[in-house]
Amino acid sequence: MKNLLKVMLLGTGLILAMWSSALGYGKQKVVYHINGDDPQQNKGALNNIQNHINAVGAENMDIRVVMHGNGLAVLMYPDEVEGTKMRRGNANEDMQTRITGLKNQGVRLHVCANTLKGRNINLAEDLYDATQDDVVPSGVAELSNLQIQGYTYIKP
């Protein structure tokens, strides 16, 4: 009886190990699309990205975040920027911490050049931690290009 119990426990352990392995996530390529300026939605989007990383592991992720239109509010400082069409920036201290944390885990941010130009937004002065390397010619074209490359599209 004791041996039967040991065999059953061993078998159950092996089944659980195989089941756990089968549920494991593999490598993922994902593009998150942000084009709104609602502070709670922007915070929620960054939370979704962090939760995704937590579930899959940063080493298994290639995450891109494409921002265009009002979505640049994620990186825009909260103060109104004179001369721009965008007045609602969400990059307060909390958001800056989240952005830095995501970037430190390998998340790449893409900023739409058309939005920068059309809204008279100065990359270096108006956006938190954005450089010329982050700029793509067109946000929507970048979304399409990444999907062609096999990135899964997510609109939080």
pLDDT tens across 43-88, in order?
Answer: 999 999 999 999 999 999 999 999 999 999 999 998 755 555 555 6
Say which CATH superfamily domain 26-154 falls into: DsrEFH-like (3.40.1260.10)
Neighbours of 124 (CB within 10 A): 8
Distance from C-alpha of 58 to C-alpha of 36, rounded to nearest angstrom: 26
Amino acid, single-letter form, for residue 100:
T
**What tokens appear for 36 in the block?**
């709104």
Distance from C-alpha of 87 to C-alpha of 93, rounded to nearest angstrom: 17
Model confidence pLDDT, tens digit, residues 101-152: 999 999 999 999 999 999 999 999 999 999 999 999 999 999 999 999 999 9
Model confidence pLDDT, tens digit, residues 13-47: 444 434 434 457 889 999 999 999 999 999 999 99
Place of tokens 């390998």: 106
pTM: 0.81
Q: How far is CA 140 from the centre of its chain?
A: 16
**Torsional sign, CA 57, 59, 61, 63:** positive
